[in-house]
Chains A and B, each alone.
Chain A
């Protein structure tokens, strides 16, 4: 074999990071939450997740090949992440065809209409969830279909908001571990935090977005929750962090690269915004949970944040 010299401009080395590995890491980080959900809520968690993932990957493949007529991009695994996250935002026993519609909206409208990965202004999984929440409000809030007898048929946020008298003593350890009802992926704080720590360790995400969201929610709850007329639990910062989709949203949804700011300063503004909007919706809005809307709204503000939060220029 002969020697062939080839040329290219510098740099001549690459750090080895790639999109596929990053997406793979996110999927890996979501596995503990999937395991806890399956344990608590039953096997339907796995089938629903499988349907969502299969739907997202299939729709991305079909849209690439037959509508856009270009090479398929499913190899980057981002559609898998979208599928898992979408499933995590659904009640476990939701009919399979609703899951497929959600996948189509997430990938079709949320992602591919804008040009695919990196071009979408809104988190695709959230786009799918919000569509389903508006289109199928009954099924999306029906927590009774698959739930074991030990758990209540409702989730904690609506109960505490609309029927606070039904809420007795809350066991924060149960909320932390995951022994409560809710969307598939949001029930175990412990599993989500484990996943988050893994992503931090792998440097897939930085602390700025999750910490600023959760800190804002906690501070908001401590200050404003005290003046709220409902249950006293509502005042507890810890309750707001453990209930609903706070952790799933803060660690996995809000940190989506394409739809969150680029600089650390921007990330903190974005996180604080999400925290405030979530709490405003939870305390005074029409919905018991506001995480997805808050992220969605701040996704829309991200380009503006990027425009005004530039990195600090060297020497200035």
Chain B
């Protein structure tokens, strides 16, 4: 069975907590706070003001430039405020607050549940629709999907890879999507194949989800989805990393930055993103809701909700029995790459595939001890880096040496910190080094331009 070539770890997947919970449609929230930055790139510009009436699916934030994404009203009602509010990390961001009145949708959105399979649109038309719908990578990266689909001149995509790996422990939203919305997913894949002009698509799924693999294969055979293949992959974190997945599926490695997946002929999209693409292209429905896993051993109940963007995170947690007492770590995402949430009034954002609640004991960090040079971090690094060295160089502020040792290749998967027997917070230091080195590289590029 295939997997990526170097490094990786085997954390226990903890998916049993929520994997059997069918997707529940969450009741409409009375109020949403819609962040104007839910993507990588420039923040969107709000185009509504206090007092405006909006319909569900109406554009309220205009993308600023190519690498940016449109934002739409997740509910209908009145805009009560456009102001800065804290996001999950407590940073103040411009948000549009909408108070709900009824459930009025934009007229051009097709809300019928029937699958609409035929698509005669050209690549450009599909990409334009994806762009208008404000679709970003729903696996967590939030990279604008239309940018990914726009294959640069002179380059050619050979294969579309659909990321159904979901290698993060605990999370099950992609898994539920594959089981419950397979037809939408596969139609989305067909549309994406048209968009990037390839004849072949591979859905990579780790072999801890045999029912999802079997189900997708059944539907592909039953409904004749030509050119789409489901590839089981050996269980190993971080297989869902874009470069790792491409290597696992095609055997080809994307060169170090700034090389992109397209350099080896691959375009990668998450399964939930493919479903959003289907809805945008076939149903004119912008990205206003997503499946989000609410999970954790300490929670009263676990769920996979279909929730509107902008819903208050605290309200969602209350539906799962509320936060447990004592020390709690609340995560936007899973425990390996998710971000700590410190403000539960923060809204749900596009990239939030799960809300994971860890108890203090589970998320406790050991006291940092001396590096014993065991080499476990080197063996675990999926990018072939030397985490012990990069972390030390960052500690010593030797930025030039950190750059020489390719610190910007780091994908921040956390395998190094996870394996370190001395509890050295390797990734914390490496991140600082990586950010500084990236700043230095940009500064040099700017100086050269002048």
Cβ of B366 within 8 Å of any chain A Cβ, yes or no, is yes
| Residues of chain A with a CB closer than 8 A to B379's CB | 264
Given known contacts A6-B328, A18-B423, is B374 in contact with A13 (CB within 8 Å)?
no
- Give the residues in chain B near A166, CB-CB below 8 Å: none
Q: Which residues of B contact A116 (CB under 8 A)?
A: 370
| CB atoms of B370 and A117 under 8 A apart | yes
Number of A-B contacts (CB under 8 A): 161
Known: A10-B336, A12-B358, A13-B418. A18 touches B381 (CB 8 A): no
Bound complex: CA A105 to CA B366 (Å): 31
Structural contact, A15 and B11, CB atoms closer than 8 A:
yes
User: B9 at the A/B interface (Cβ < 8 Å)?
Assistant: yes
Docked-complex contact A118 and B370, CB < 8 angstroms:
yes
Q: Are B329 and A7 in contact (CB under 8 A)?
A: yes
- Interchain CA distance A141-B420 in the complex, whole Å: 41
B381 cross-chain contacts in A, Cβ below 8 A? 311
- Given the interface contacts A6-B329, A8-B329, does A315 sit within 8 Å of B375 by beta carbon? no
A94-137 near B? 1/0 per residue, CB < 8 Å: 00000000000000000000011111000000000000000000
Instruction: Look across to chain A and name the residue whose beta carbon is closest to the beta carbon of B372.
Output: A118
Cross-chain contact A263 with B375 (CB below 8 angstroms): yes
A4 to B420, CA, bound (A): 27
How far, in angstroms, from A117 to B383 measured CA to CA in the complex?
28
**Contact status of A313 and B256, CB under 8 A, knowing A9-B428, A262-B388:** yes
- Name A9-50 residues within 8 Å CB distance of B: 9-15, 17-19, 21-22
Q: Which of B412, B413, B421 contacts A19 (CB 8 A)?
A: B421
Determine the chain B residues whose CB is within 8 A of the CB of A18 once the complex forms.
366, 421-423
Please encode chain A, from 258 to 278, with 1 for each CB lying within 8 Å of some chain B CB and 0 for all others.
Answer: 100111100000000000000
Residues of A within 8 A of B255 (CB): 315-316
CB proximity of A41 to chain B, nearest CB, Å: 32
* Contact residues in B for A312 (Cβ distance below 8 Å): 6, 384
Inter-chain CA distance A5–B335, complex, in Å, is: 15
A170 within 8 A of B: no
Q: Which residues of B contact A1 (CB under 8 A)?
A: 325-326
Cross-chain contact B337 with A19 (CB below 8 angstroms): no
Chain B, interface residues (CB within 8 Å), range: 35 or more
Contact in complex: A258, B6 (CB < 8 Å): no
Question: Which of B169, B413, B414, B428 gathers the greatest number of chain A CB atoms within 10 Å?
Answer: B414
Is A11 a contact partner of B375 (Cβ separation < 8 A)?
no
Q: A257 near B: Cβ within 8 Å?
A: yes
**Chain A residues closer than 8 Å to B375, beta-carbon distance:** 257, 261-263
Nearest neighbor of A13 in chain B, beta-carbon distance: B335
Q: In the complex, A115 Cα to B373 Cα: how many Å? A: 14
Mark interface residues in A280-308 (1 if CB within 8 Å of B CB, else 0).
00000000000000000000000000000
Q: Mark B405-445, 1 if CB is under 8 A from A, else 0.
A: 01001001110011111110101100100000000000000
A314 to B264, CA, bound (A): 14
Contact with A along B312-342 (1 / 0, CB 8 A): 0000000000011111111100011111111
Nearest opposing residue in chain A for B338, CB measure: A10
- Chain A residues whose CB sits within 8 angstroms of the CB of B9 once the complex forms: 15
Q: Is A3 an interface residue (CB 8 A)?
A: yes
B325 neighbours in A (Cβ, 8 Å): 1-3
Provide the bound-state CA to CA distance between A18 and B11, in Å.
Answer: 16
Q: Please, which residues of chain B bring their CB within 8 A of the CB of A17?
A: 376, 419-421
Of A18, A117, A262, A316, chain B has the most CB atoms within 10 Å of the CB of A262
Question: In angstroms, how far is the closest chain B Cβ from the Cβ of A203?
Answer: 9
| Interface mask (B67-90 → A, CB under 8 Å = 1, otherwise 0) | 000000000000000000000010
- Pairwise interchain contact B256-A6, C-beta atoms closer than 8 A: no
Inter-chain CA distance A313–B386, complex, in Å, is: 10
- Measured CB to CB, the nearest residue on chain B to A11 is B414
How distant is the Cα of A313 from the Cα of B378 in the complex, in angstroms? 11
CA distance A9 to B254 in the complex (A): 27
Closest residue to A115 on the B side, CB-wise? B370
Residue in chain A with minimal CB distance to B426: A11
Instruction: Flag whether A65 is at the interface (Cβ < 8 A).
Output: no
B330 CB contacts on chain A under 8 angstroms? 5
A21 to B374, CA, bound (A): 13
Name the one of B336, B362, B373, B414 contacting A258, with C-beta atoms under 8 angstroms: B373
State which residues 1-21 of B face A: CB under 8 Å. 5-6, 9, 11
Interface status of A76 (Cβ within 8 A of chain B): yes
The CA-CA distance from A262 to B409 in the complex, in Å, is: 19
Q: A6-B327, A9-B431 are in contact. Are A314 and B423 (CB under 8 A)?
A: no
Is the beta-carbon distance between B384 and A3 smaller than 8 angstroms? Answer: no
Q: Report whether A4 and B370 are in contact in the complex, using a CB–CB cutoff of 8 Å.
A: no
Instruction: Please name all residues of chain B whose beta carbon is closer than 8 Å to the beta carbon of A7 when the two chains form the complex.
Output: 89, 329, 340-342
Identify the interface centre among A8, A119, A314: most chain B CB within 10 Å of its CB: A314
User: In the complex, are the beta carbons of B374 and A22 less than 8 A apart?
Assistant: yes
How far in angstroms is the closest Cβ of chain A from B377?
9
B residues near A73, Cβ cutoff 8 Å: 370
A316 CB contacts on chain B under 8 angstroms: 253, 255-256, 384
Quick one: closest A residue to B241, CB to CB?
A: A314
Interchain nearest-CB distance for A210 vs B (Å) = 15
Which residues on the A side are within 8 Å of B360 (C-beta)?
A: 4, 6
Question: Most chain-B CB neighbours within 10 Å: which of A76, A311, A316?
Answer: A311
B151 on interface, CB distance cutoff 8 Å: no
Residues of A within 8 A of B388 (CB): 262
Contacts of A313 in B (CB 8 A): 256, 383-385, 406, 409
Contact yes or no, A3 B243, CB < 8 A: no
> In the docked arrangement, what's the CA distance between A118 and B392, Å?
13
Taking A13-B362, A14-B417, A313-B385 as known contacts, 9 extra A-B pairs with beta carbons closer than 8 A to each other, sorted by chain A number, are: A2-B325, A3-B324, A5-B342, A6-B329, A11-B427, A12-B338, A13-B418, A262-B373, A314-B243
List 19 interface pairs A-B (beta carbons < 8 Å), by A numbering.
A5-B344, A10-B339, A10-B414, A13-B362, A15-B418, A17-B420, A18-B422, A76-B369, A115-B370, A118-B373, A257-B372, A263-B378, A312-B384, A313-B409, A314-B383, A314-B384, A315-B253, A315-B254, A316-B255
